[in-house]
Chain A
Amino acid sequence: MNATAPDRLLALQRRFLDGVERRLADMSTELDRTADTDALMRMFHSLAGIGGTYGFPRVSEISHTCETLCAAAMEEKRPMRSAEKISLHLAVAAIRGITAGSRTAL
């Protein structure tokens, strides 16, 4: 019933990984739907801030790259290009690969 500090950290990491799965699903849905640059930028921005904080720096790096890509599209006031959407889908898959492996390890 009671949890030690390492147990609590483990529980938090598991919770984070479950949450990432939901975030990635939302990103994929958004990419397939309207690919709204603002919405996608916010999603990647959030993940960029959280990933490394939970000990997954690669998740932050990939997310930050995606965030920058979305920000560029926003800056140019244009919709996401097909090639960019593919890149973002690949990035989502890469993050999913990282977190899925970690979930198994936990």
Chain B
Amino acid sequence: MNHRTAFTAGAPTPPSVHDLNLVTYVESPRSLPCPTCGAAVDLARVEWCQCVTKPLSVVCPSCHNCSCKLRDFPKRAEWTCVIRELLQGQTEEKFRRALNTTPTDAGGRPTVLVVDDDEEIRLIAEYSIQQMGYHVITAAGPQEALDLIERSKPDIVLTDALMPKIDGRQLCRLIKAANPSIKVVIMTALYKSPRYRVEAMSTYRADEYLAKPIDFAHLHNVLENLSAKAAA
């Protein structure tokens, strides 16, 4: 089996259960080959790299490549979780979902998709929401967001209102039409009047409507509330 498929960006082909050497994963150090140099990387020693444009990147201890190709490197806890489920007789379909999507971390935290055409906002939002304990994925625009939603099924979408082509409110409507269970938060620096908030929540079915600049303490409360609702 080529474990490298787990690292590649886009939609990797998941390894089959039949290809997975469970003994290796369960009894030896949890390691996977670095996609750059091929050296085995111990999942327990995965560290953040300084590549701030991809805060989830890790460093290969062998080639020291802070490659963003390693972005999808699964956490040890995630692998352990997958393996435990396999040993408990879970289906291959579930295994595929666990690899193809990154719905929760080991603590069962939801995934938040941040959609903003401004990279500065995406970066600080990704960092801050990760610090709150959530798994975060980002999209630079509505179309990329829709593709990611299809692939990763996030629990909460945090989207800017003003974006080219499809604005955040229209994106919210599209998301809700296809995935009613996904919670959507619209952020805006422009439409701050209460009537826009009412419109976003009634007409476009947004679950929350926040003003920019982002107040992360408030956002934390909002995400906690929405997570609780999603779990209920």
Q: Which residues of A contact B (CB under 8 A)?
A: 1-5, 7-9, 11-12, 15-16, 19, 45-46, 48-54, 57, 60, 64
- Main secondary structure, interface of B, reads loop
Q: Tell me if A15 and B123 are in contact (CB < 8 A).
A: yes
Pick out which of these stretches binds chain A: B30-38, B45-53, B73-81: B45-53
B202 interfacial contact with A, CB 8 Å: no
- B residues near A53, Cβ cutoff 8 Å: 120-121, 124-125, 212-214
The distance in angstroms between the C-alpha atoms of A64 and B50, with both chains bound, is 32
Chain A's interface: helix, strand, loop or mixed, by majority?
A: helix
User: Which chain B residue lies CB-closest to A1?
Assistant: B59
Give the distance in Å from the alpha carbon of A16 to the alpha carbon of B123 in the complex.
10
Find the residue from B55, B59, B124, B131 having the highest chain A CB count within 10 A. B124
Quick check: is B66 within 8 A (CB to CB) of the other chain?
yes
- Size category of the binding interface on chain B: 20 to 34
Chain A residue numbers with a CB within 8 Å of B59 are 1-2
Q: What is B's interface to A at a CB cutoff of 8 Å?
A: 47-50, 52, 55, 59, 64, 66, 118, 120-121, 123-125, 127, 131, 162, 189-190, 212-214
Q: Indicate if the CB atoms of B131 and A2 lie closer than 8 Å.
A: no
Which residue in chain A gives the minimum CB-CB distance to B55? A8
**A46 CB contact (under 8 Å) in B48, B118, B214:** B118
Docked CA distance A67–B66 (Å): 39
Given contact pairs A45-B189, A48-B189, A48-B212, A7 touches B50 in the complex (Cβ within 8 A): yes
Shortest B185–chain A CB gap in Å is 15
Are B50's CB and A1's CB within 8 A?
yes
Specify which chain A residues have a CB less than 8 angstroms from the CB of B213 in the assembled complex.
48-53, 57, 60
Q: How far is the CA of A2 from the CA of B50 in the complex (A)?
A: 6
Contact A52 B212 (CB under 8 A): yes
Instruction: Give the chain B neighbours of A50 by CB distance below 8 A.
Output: 118, 120-121, 213
How distant is B59 from chain A, measured CB to nearest CB, in Å?
6
CB distance from A44 to the nearest CB of B (A): 10
Chain A to chain B: the 10 pairs with minimum beta-carbon distance, closest first: A52-B213, A49-B189, A2-B47, A49-B212, A53-B213, A11-B52, A3-B50, A53-B214, A60-B213, A50-B120
Nearest chain B residue, comparing its CB with the CB of A42: B162
Contact A54 B124 (CB under 8 A): yes
Task: State A85–B189 Cα separation when bound (angstroms).
Answer: 23
Distance to closest chain B CB from A10 (angstroms): 10
